[in-house]
Structure 1
Amino acid sequence: MKNREISVRFANKHDAKRLLDIYAYYVKETAISFETEVPSVEEFKSRMEDILKNYPYIVACYNDEILGYAYLHPFVGRKAYDLSAETTIYLNPNKKHMGIGKKLYTVLEDIARVQNITNLYSCIGYVDEDDEYLNNNSAKFHEHMGYRMVGKFINCGHKFGRWYHMVWMEKVIGEHKEIREFLRFVDIEYTFN
């Protein structure tokens, strides 16, 4: 499978089960997600529908196989933060290091710019030393994608009987010169290349 053969499309509620299958690995086997219980398909679908009211939710596919997904969601949730958004990405754990994450984030950033979003943030589990549940590969990926570390919370997440740090990383993707209105995802047009 070559990167150019991987397509990106918008997620829909019918993808929920397959996306949840990817996410369940991160909940049960890693400290990448600080969630400790795998949500039901109905809960996961509800989360997707809530996000899709205002933000993009995209999947990477090879033929009919979903390789990973990414989405934007509110940063903090106050009106003054409308032109900022938080990013989330999860890849099939058997399909890493294939350029899928870069492809998803590139599309996500393009859509964010159409929505007039200027700042992207990512909340990432972080360790001083790698263990079997967490390493700093996600932070390294985000750094490679142009994000910079802007904050570190010490031992704020507890999972698998251990304490984990959390870091915030930021990428500025737009100019802050003019005041622009946040455009909800449902109100924009976007075509995949």
Structure 2
Amino acid sequence: MTEAVEVRTVLDDPKDFNAVHRLNTPWTLWFDNSSRRTSTSTWTAGVKKIETMSTVEEFWGVYNSVANAMDLPTGSNFHMFRHGIRPMWEDPANANGGKWGYLFQRSIGEKVNEHWLHTLLACIGETFESSPDVCGVVFANRKNCFRIALWTRNADDRESCENIGRHLKKVLGVNSPLEYTAHEVGPASKSNAKVLYSV
């Protein structure tokens, strides 16, 4: 007869726990500083993998070990994507997709860290009705604003995209419209990206 092992979670014993909470799929956090880009190839080489997380405990360990979103150097980005999907348009999972984006004025200050965290938790917690269609999320620190963009797999699936957009709007707690644009793979200008959906 084997002796029963006492199950201790991080909530019971933060230092000596023996049980973890698995995520549905692993997620990988990436970082890049786009202000140092000189070409697509140097940008690709400049995207650095920070860590892949398979459990809730690993997520919090990484989240608490990296800079707050608002403290990133101007021009840099955090990317949290499903493991196996690289944070670039050319990845096969992203190639036919697009993104929901929202700009926050810099005057929002530290509050933007909460918006980023809530978006991360919605992704890794699979709270979107069409969660399998969510590829990842990007936080961009720019000179005049902060931007959060949620990437999806299929820009042609209007129902899925709009479901994701409506939920993201709730997660961010914003009232103004969110806009969805398809990824522009190739030399097309991002400034000419066509808005496909709005919620």
TM range (shorter): 0.3 to 0.5
TM-score of the aligned structures, taking structure 1 as reference length: 0.32
Relative contact order (C-alpha < 8 Å, sep 6+): which is higher? 1
The structure whose Rg is larger is: 2
